[in-house]
Structure 1
């Protein structure tokens, strides 16, 4: 899937052409490095970094059937994971390498997930670590905070009517 099927970002920035592909067995190393490099500074700032716990968490999170990789000009630049319940589509993970952040790729991905959830009459939920700059993106796209804990903020995008 290329960005031509994804809506432009709210800010008016047209994302570069990217592709999505299914996860493969050999993607584990790249995904793990990107996850650890993204999470470590955020959790260290909260005095909550524990390398062993993060390794165990990543291994439990990495479910290839739920994961798509983002490629740009033939190279992997990120990955995301989506799971579903009866009423929700959950963005469980979303990571982009530093040099492609801020170009509208994340916005296009999240908007596409929102659109697919709305087509299924489902809401969208996500959680992220305090201090993650993606917080502004999620607010801009219409997500509302529903709770938080010591390390994470939990948000929801309502696409369906209650009841």
Structure 2
């Protein structure tokens, strides 16, 4: 396979049912598994999450684009290699892709590998609806929810408001966790 080719999983995970996400669906969000044809959008989405960080750099638009594409490819390859049983979900709203939600079920938690929305979809409660659905799923199965969050990520406020706590400083990231109330 050429080094510049990205792939998506197509095994057992793709045959499983999608996780129930009723709050997000009530907000008009739809979910489907990612496909090879989604990779350009996913790269664009990744770039939108790094735009503010790259803005002050004296690079040309082409240099920034090439850097972001390289970073997306590295991240995507890492995710595919290290989270083989994940649910790789594309988030759609108003018949257009607006984000991604990557989840993997572990023995003690549901790990949010990644959650991201395009800038125009942020701040409207859509991410909160998705996270509340993940928390409800975890509560149903008596699991926690874990996520790595960059120190300067504006969504940190949301996670803290939802009851996530910082469990470990991982350098650039905090490992955060939420646990359901004991039954």
How far apart, CA to CA, are the structure 2 residues paired with 1:118 and 1:80?
19
**What does 1:144-159 correspond to in 2, within 5 Å?**
144-159=165-180
Unaligned ranges ≥5, structure 1: 8-14
Unaligned ranges ≥5, structure 2: 1-17, 57-66
Do structure 1's residue 26 and structure 2's residue 37 form an aligned pair? yes
| Aligned counterpart for 1:110 among listed residues 119, 131, 144 | 131
Secondary structure, in 3 states, of the residue corresponding to 1:79?
strand
Query: Which runs of at least 4 in structure 1 moved beyond 4 Å after TM superposition?
Result: 42-45, 50-54, 62-65
Question: Could you say which structure has the larger radius of gyration?
Answer: 2
Asked if the contact 1:80/1:91 (under 8 Å) is kept, the reply is yes
TM-score, with length taken from structure 2? 0.71
Q: Whose relative contact order is higher, 1 or 2, with alpha carbons under 8 Å and at least 6 apart?
A: 1
Let me know the Cα RMSD of the aligned residues: 2.9
How far apart, CA to CA, are the structure 2 residues paired with 1:82 and 1:5?
16
| Aligned counterpart for 1:91 among listed residues 103, 107, 112 | 112
How far apart are residue 69 of structure 1 and its match? 1.3
Secondary structure, in 3 states, of the residue corresponding to 2:123?
coil
Report the counterpart of residue 5 of structure 1 in structure 2: 22
TM-score, with length taken from structure 1? 0.78
